[in-house]
Structure 1
Amino acid sequence: MPDHQWDDLPTSVRRSIESHTGPVRAARSATTGATSEIAATLRADCGPVFCKAIRTTHPMSRMHRMEARVNPWLPDTAPRLRWVVEAEGWLALGFDHVEGRHPDLSPGSDDLPAIADALTGLSHALTPCPPVRVQPATVRWQGRIAPHLVDGDTLCHTDVTPFNFLVGRGVRLVDWSMPIRGAAWIDTALMIVRLIRAGHTPAQAESWADQIPPWKQASPEAVEVFASSLADLWEQRRRENPVPHRRQLAEAAHAWAAHHGTQGPRPRPELTRPL
């Protein structure tokens, strides 16, 4: 979760933000998120605004610049970026505030059809890929998967954690800081691992995915190789930093790969640190 508060911003930066919002009356920090040093809902004269900020020297500041670059091309299911402030070594982004809760991905959840509809709508809205500079999937997974299997012309989110979905008046997908241009089924494939982590069997997760047209069009070879590559990737991440959610995602990805008769390295039991 973010480790700084609104008041930690230099006064000049807060004043620059308030030139867009009016005086900030209150700031409620977010309880989730890992890419921003500050993430808070600001209550100001203009109404509520979601602000995320990071120092420009931080390695993840490039992800904030990416999000700012891609936002104008996104459909209304993504909150609109209203302003960008860069001052005193800080980069701050201001978005429309969206009320909502994170979805329940467990088997039988009433949220599952809405998530499927959201992914279907996004794949349609973002194909062909808008004319914005993003990393191709063939580069993102270079050395892990045959490039032609993930190549495509859809703008994909790629970070489909339930924390990036907000369910309220419809489903909104936030934090577009890791987009790629690739095959239209990629986000659905990534969601399958999240569903398995939430308690679905691999067969149940794929059955859910079958209602999303781009997934139905994915070749069996691409699915098999992608599942194996994700198992390798999550196992690598787990070994680099064995926090609980990475262990769980590695186990889920391995289960999916095994379902297709392929296996990445099995997660090894070990002590974990709290998130």
Structure 2
Amino acid sequence: MPQRRHWHELPEEIRQRVEHRAGAVHAAYSVPTGASCDLAAVIDTDAGRVFCKGGETDGPTAWLYRNEARVNPWLPDVAPRLRWTIEAKGWLMLGFEYVAGRHADLAPGSPDLTAVADLLGTQSRLLTPSPPVRVQRFADRWCGLIAPELVDGDTLLHTDMTPRNFLVADRLRLVDWSSPALGAAWIDTALMLVRLVRAGHPPAEAEAWAGQIPNWAHASEEALDAFAGGLLRLWERKQRSAPSPHHGPLLRAAREWRDHLATRKSR
């Protein structure tokens, strides 16, 4: 993850251009965790609050900002609206509708679980077929992890189901569309299922939760077995190449789901 910058550390011309679009900035509050970007901040402006994110255009995560800017106009209103894009002095900044809320709670018994399932079902329906926006195919992203035909499809996917990307406000919102992909409609649900296991749900209960989402019925047993194995190998690879405190629990959750599927298959 890039070294997080603060608002006052931005080039003066960038700050001036933001103020030209959003009005005078009276205060800026850095967001210390979450998005993989050089700067993530809530800014108070003459026109109201804005969530601002971005970074240097020659940095390793610049492609993520461009992904999000490209896909946002095509998204349903579960995603906050992109208000403006500014590129100058080697920086690319995105200004989004500000959403005040807390992160979704995925623990067993949480009242947020129904809202998450409803959002994933609605989002899948509205984004199938995908709008005409250029994104990577999920099969290409997972090349070598799974047979392409098992995950291919025409749904625009989010693919980053961390609970930090779900904001509970007046309604549930899904933020950070920086890693979109085109693939099978059930993939986001499968990725969320592992997050539920990570949050303490037994795999069978997490699958029962997934069963209320219509797209889950389209996932074949063969596809789910292969997906679970591919996800486990992906987290193993991440833990080897870039060990991180949050990789271990997700690796264990992926292994738990994979083992559950293997046990069920052997009965």
Post-superposition Cα deviations, 1:43-62, rounded to whole Å, max 9, x if no partner, equal 00110000002001111001
* Runs of at least 5 residues in structure 1 that lack an aligned partner in the other structure: 263-275
Q: Compute the TM-score of the two structures, normalised by the length of structure 2.
A: 0.96
- What residue is the counterpart of 2:6 in the other structure? 5
Quote how far apart the aligned CAs of 1:34 are. 4.0
Partner of 2:34: 33
Deviations for 1:192-237, whole angstroms, at most 9, x for unmatched residues? 1111110011111111100001012211110111011101101111
Equivalent residue for 1:268? Answer: none
Matched, 1:187 2:194: no
3-state SS of the aligned residue for 1:118?
helix
| Residue in 2 that maps onto 1:139 | 140
Q: Are 2:198 and 2:250, in contact at CA under 8 Å, matched by a contact in 1? A: yes
What's the secondary structure of 2:246's corresponding residue? helix
Rounded Cα–Cα distance in structure 1 between residues aligned with 2:149 and 2:94: 35
Partner residue in 1 for 2:152: 151
- Structure 2 unmatched ranges of 5 or more: none
Contact 1:150 1:186 in 2 (8 A): yes
Aligned 1:1-275 pairs, distance under 5 A: 3-261=4-262
**Which string of whole-angstrom CA distances, capped at 9 and with x for unpartnered residues, describes residues 239-269 of structure 1?**
112211101100100111101118xxxxxxx
Q: Give the secondary-structure state (helix, strand or coil) at the position aligned to 2:262.
A: coil
Q: What CA distance in whole angstroms lies between the structure 1 residues aligned with 2:110 and 2:8?
A: 39
Tell me how far apart the structure 1 counterparts of residues 94 and 166 of structure 2 sit (CA, whole Å): 19
Number of matched residues? 262
Q: How many angstroms apart in 2 are the aligned matches of 1:95 and 1:113? A: 26
Aligned residue for 1:270?
Answer: none
The answer (yes or no) to whether the contact 2:35–2:176 under 8 Å persists in 1 is no
Look up the SS of the partner of 2:27 in the other structure. Answer: strand
Contact 1:51–1:95 at 8 Å: present in 2 too? yes
Assess if the C-alpha contact under 8 Å between 2:165 and 2:174 holds in 1. Answer: yes
Kindly provide the CA deviation profile for residues 36-87 of structure 1, in whole angstroms up to 9, marking residues without a partner as x.
1110111001100000020011110011001000000000110000110011
| 1:138–1:182 Cα contact (<8 Å) kept | yes
Which amino acid counterpart does residue 5 of structure 1 have in structure 2?
Answer: H
Distance 2:144 2:38 in 1: 32
Q: Structure 1 segments of 4 or more deviating over 6 A?
A: none
Rounded to whole Å, the distance in 2 between the matches of 1:232 and 1:99 is 36
Which amino acid in structure 2 is aligned with residue 242 of structure 1? P
Paired-residue identity, %: 57
Cα separation, 2, equivalents of 1:220 and 1:36: 37
**Whole-angstrom distance in 1 between the partners of 2:25 and 2:147:** 50
Tell me if structure 2 keeps the 8 A contact 1:71–1:176. Answer: yes
Alignment partner, residue 273 of structure 1? none
With the length of structure 1 as denominator, give the TM-score of the two structures: 0.93
